[in-house]
Amino acid sequence: MTGLAVVIGSGGGIGAAIQRELESSGQFERVLGVSRSSEPKLDLLDEASIAQCAGGISGQGAEIRFVIDATGALVLDGHRPEKSLRDLDPEALANSFAVNAIGPALLMKHFLPLLPRSGRSVFATLSARVGSIGDNRLGGWYAYRASKAALNQLVHTAAVELARRKPGAICVALHPGTVRTPLTEGFAKTGLEVQEPEVASRRLLAVCDGLTSEQSGGFFDHHGKAVPW
């Protein structure tokens, strides 16, 4: 692909690694990283900033061929993942949905219309395997699981609408695996593969490179395997 690639959440560990990998690949004419500290600025919790950022990028003239959303949060305002129903807190639930589902939904609202009408393009957002209902055997982590499950549904629904207007466009949710970042600090289990951000970024981009329009609306892990809903 040519054109412009946009990395949303480029200030985080995975986002920064993805931006570096894209820049070194030479696959796109330009690679633009956006975050709360970038210019243009993008605040996931402020729709006006998302709309302004998307408009500013669109106004630069280059076709947007690749957008990856590398945002997300597991611990918010000191609320750690719940172990039991008794730990449920309405504020923690609302905050998790705001960051992990509503924010990415607004990204799709403002960035999917900017993808070209013809030719291949990709919008990918980072979900999590724990958002899979079919794969949930351990329970717990209510807010994070539910918010990522909601994200998966939002992605699938947006992909259905996108296909009607832009048949070459692809919209997917990706499970990056466990990556060594502040988000996973203290939560990696013994025996679990913990990837460095550079490894995860290469795997995720390889998955994106191999996707076809028939796979739009799907949920895939960092090896390209479909994850159960």
Mean pLDDT of 28-32: 96
Beta 178-179 vs 169-175: how paired, if at all? unpaired
Q: Are 69 and 50 in contact (CB under 8 A)?
A: no
Q: By percentage, how much of the chain surpasses pLDDT 70?
A: 95
Cα separation values, 7 from 12, 34, 101, 142, 200, Å: 10, 6, 18, 28, 15
| Calpha distance 3→223 (Å, rounded) | 26
Of 54-63, 85-94, 152-161, 186-195, the range with the lowest mean pLDDT is: 186-195
Q: What is the pTM of this model?
A: 0.93
Domains of the chain by start residue, with CATH: 4-221 (3.40.50.720)
178 phi, psi to nearest 5 deg: -90, 120
40 cis-preceded (ω within 30 degrees of 0) = yes
Model pLDDT, residue 194? 87
Which of 161, 170, 164, 162 lies closest to 219 in space, CA to CA?
A: 170
Whether the CB-CB separation of 157 and 105 falls below 8 Å is answered with no
Residue with tokens 């191999």: 210
CA atoms within 13 A of residue 75's CA, in its CB half-sphere: 10
Largest CA distance in the chain: 52
Q: How many residues does the chain have?
A: 229
Is residue 33 classed as helix, strand or coil in its secondary structure?
strand
The pLDDT score that the predictor gives to residue 183 is: 60
pLDDT digits (tens, 9 = 90+) for 160-203: 999 999 999 999 999 999 998 766 556 555 557 889 999 999 99
Q: Give the position of tokens 């709360």.
A: 36
Q: What is the pLDDT of residues 96-141, one digit of tens each?
A: 999 999 999 999 999 999 999 999 999 999 999 999 999 999 999 9
Average pLDDT, the chain: 94
Tokens 């412009």, located at residue: 4
What's the CA gap between 67 and 124, in Å, rounded? 6
